[in-house]
């Protein structure tokens, strides 16, 4: 299960990445594309060119963990951000992984 507490941030890469990479390759992609620190404990989300494969890498206390999902049909709906935002909240991530278009829902109120 993905560690989605309030302190964990979720960043996604808008540029498709070669997902033949695994632990070290994805950690390098965090530096290269997102200019982030893969040891921070945050989640970093990468998609392939066809947007039918996603890999999520994060540091899990004593080593990297990689989570992946490949769709048998269709593609993931990636949010397009006008302001260049590359951060997601947990609801947006679960919507993407479930096949829901994130731009179609909205927050009715804030606490």
Whether the CB-CB separation of 59 and 76 falls below 8 Å is answered with: no
Q: What is the pLDDT of residues 72-110, one digit of tens each?
A: 998 998 877 655 568 888 888 888 888 877 655 555 555
Per-residue pLDDT, 95: 86
> What's phi and psi for 31, nearest 5 deg?
-65, -45
Provide the pLDDT confidence category of residue 42 given band limits of 50, 70 and 90: very high
| pTM for the full predicted model | 0.84
H helix runs in the chain, sequence order: 23-29, 90-98
Closest C-alpha to 97, from 55, 36, 41, 63: 55
Average pLDDT for 23-29: 94
Query: Residue 10's beta-bridge partner residues?
Result: 43, 88
Closest C-alpha to 39, from 71, 9, 75, 63: 63
CA–CA dist 15, 2 (Å, integer): 22
């Amino acid at each position: 299960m993905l560690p989605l507490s309030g302190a964990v941030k979720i960043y996604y890469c808008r540029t498709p990445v070669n997902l033949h990479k695994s632990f070290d390759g994805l950690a390098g992609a965090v530096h290269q594309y997102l200019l982030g620190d893969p040891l921070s404990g945050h989640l970093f989300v990468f998609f392939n060119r066809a947007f039918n494969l996603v890999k999520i890498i994060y540091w899990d206390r004593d080593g990297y963990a990689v989570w992946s999902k490949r769709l048998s049909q269709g593609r993931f709906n990636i949010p397009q951000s006008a302001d260049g935002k590359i951060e997601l909240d947990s609801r947006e991530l679960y919507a993407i992984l479930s096949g829901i278009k994130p731009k179609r829902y909205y927050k009715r109120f804030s606490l």
